[in-house]
C-alpha cells in the first residue's frame, strides 16, 4: 500500500512579527516515502512543519495537499488525511493515557456519532505499537518525558492518517526508544504506505531511516534527495558549519557522519583526515 496523496510547498514565505524564517521555498514530499528534514537550530524546520499542517499561515506562497491549499481546507477534512505531532504538545490536566490517545479518533467522529469498535481497535493498536498499553489508565501528568512522548505518538497513530508530520519524535527518548520509535514509523510506512515527514536533529538516524533527506539552511533548501546525495562533508560544512568525515555505515550501508572537533582527533591518512589532535 502506498498513499497517493501529494504534499508540496510553492514559493512559501513564513515568519513571525517582522522576522522572516522561510523565504520563497519550494519542495515536494515524495508520496509513500519517509522524509527527514534536517538543519541547524533556528533554520526553519519546525516553522515549515507548522505551516504544512496549517498551524501557521504563510506570508506568501502555498502549501498544497493534492493540489489544494491546506489553509483553505476544512480542519476536520484535513485531519482525516494529515496528522501532526508537534514538538512540545500539551495535554489537558488529569487526562488518562487512553483518553488522550482516543482523541486521535476525533477527526473520524461524525456529528452525534457513537464511539465504534473501529475506534477501539485503532486505539488499542496504537497503544500496542508504542508499548504504552500498560499505561492506559494512568494520568499523563504522572509519566516520564519518554513515556509521555510515546503516548503522543500513539495518539498520532490512532488518527490513522495517510500523511504524518512529526516534529522531533525522538525528543526525551533514550537511544533504545529512539530506535524503537523510528522502527515503528518505518513499519507504518511499509505496511500502510503512510507518507511520513519528520524533523530530526540526529543526522545519522535521519540518514538511516529516511528515503528522502531535506537539508535546510537559512530558510532555504540547501540540498534534497536520497541520503547518500545529501549527507556529504560539503553539505555538513555548509549547513552546520562543522568539519566531518562521512563514511558508509556498515550496518545500514547508509552514510554515517563523524564530526571533527578540536580535540580527540588523530590524523589518519587512510580516512583522509588532515586535522591534528
Q: For position 115, what pLDDT does the model report?
A: 79
Q: For position 276, what pLDDT does the model report?
A: 40
Site of grid cell 505499537: 129
Q: How far apart are CA 205 and CA 196, in angstroms?
A: 15
Q: For position 271, what pLDDT does the model report?
A: 54
Q: For position 1, what pLDDT does the model report?
A: 56
Contact in structure between 135 and 151 (CB atoms under 8 Å):
yes
Q: For position 142, what pLDDT does the model report?
A: 94
Q: In what order do the strands lie in the sheet with 163-167?
A: 82-85, 163-167, 195-199, 34-39, 212-217, 220-225
Q: Give, in words, the CATH class of 7-259.
A: alpha beta
The β-bridge relationship of strands 195-199 and 163-167 is parallel
Burial tier of 177 (Cβ tally within 10 Å: 0-12, 13-18, 19+): middle
Q: Tell me the residue length of the chain.
A: 277
Q: For position 173, what pLDDT does the model report?
A: 85
- Measured in Å, how far apart are the chain's first and last C-alpha atoms? 51
What confidence tens digit (pLDDT) does each residue in 86-140 have?
Answer: 988 889 999 999 999 999 998 887 666 677 889 999 999 999 988 899 999 999 9
Indicate the helix (H) or strand (E) that contains 155.
Answer: helix 145-158
What confidence tens digit (pLDDT) does each residue in 240-258 have?
Answer: 999 999 999 999 999 999 9
Q: For position 51, what pLDDT does the model report?
A: 95
Rounded to 10°, the helix 175-192/117-129 angle is: 140
pLDDT in tens, the chain (277 residues): 566 899 999 999 999 988 999 999 999 999 999 999 999 998 999 999 999 999 999 999 999 999 999 999 998 889 989 999 998 888 999 999 999 999 999 888 766 667 788 999 999 999 998 889 999 999 999 998 889 988 999 999 999 999 999 999 988 788 988 998 899 899 989 998 999 999 999 999 999 999 999 999 989 999 999 999 999 999 999 999 999 999 999 999 999 999 998 888 876 555 555 444 3
Q: How far apart are CA 220 and CA 216, in angstroms?
A: 5
Q: For position 277, what pLDDT does the model report?
A: 36
Amino acid at each position: 500500500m502506498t498513499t497517493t496523496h501529494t504534499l508540496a510547498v510553492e514559493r512559501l514565505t513564513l515568519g513571525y512579527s517582522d522576522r522572516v524564517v522561510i523565504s520563497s521555498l519550494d519542495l515536494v514530499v515524495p508520496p509513500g516515502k519517509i522524509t527527514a528534514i534536517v538543519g541547524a537550530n533556528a533554520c526553519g524546520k519546525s516553522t515549515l512543519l507548522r505551516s504544512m499542517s496549517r498551524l501557521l499561515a504563510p506570508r506568501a506562497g502555498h502549501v498544497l495537499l493534492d493540489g489544494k491549499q491546506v489553509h483553505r481546507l476544512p480542519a476536520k477534512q484535513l485531519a482525516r488525511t494529515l496528522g501532526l505531532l508537534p514538538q512540545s504538545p500539551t495535554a489537558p490536566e488529569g487526562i488518562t493515557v487512553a483518553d488522550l490517545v482516543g482523541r486521535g479518533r476525533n477527526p473520524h467522529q461524525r456529528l452525534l456519532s457513537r464511539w465504534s469498535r473501529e475506534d477501539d481497535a485503532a486505539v488499542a493498536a496504537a497503544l500496542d505499537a508504542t508499548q504504552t498499553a500498560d499505561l492506559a489508565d494512568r494520568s499523563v501528568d504522572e509519566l516520564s518525558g519518554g513515556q509521555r512522548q510515546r503516548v503522543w505518538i500513539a495518539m498520532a497513530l490512532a488518527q490513522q492518517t495517510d500523511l504524518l508530520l512529526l516534529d522531533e519524535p525522538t525528543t526525551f527518548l533514550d537511544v533504545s526508544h529512539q530506535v524503537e520509535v523510528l522502527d515503528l514509523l518505518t513499519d507504518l510506512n511499509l505496511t500502510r504506505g503512510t507518507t511520513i515527514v519528520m524533523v530530526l536533529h540526529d543526522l545519522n538516524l535521519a540518514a538511516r531511516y529516511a528515503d528522502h533527506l531535506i537539508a535546510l539552511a537559512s530558510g532555504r533548501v540547501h540540498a534534497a534527495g536520497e541520503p547518500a546525495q545529501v549527507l556529504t562533508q560539503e553539505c555538513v560544512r555548509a549547513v552546520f558549519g562543522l568539519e566531518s568525515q562521512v563514511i558508509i555505515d556498515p550496518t545500514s550501508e547508509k552514510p554515517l557522519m563523524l564530526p571533527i572537533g578540536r580535540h580527540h582527533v588523530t590524523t589518519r591518512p587512510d580516512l583522509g583526515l588532515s586535522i591534528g589532535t
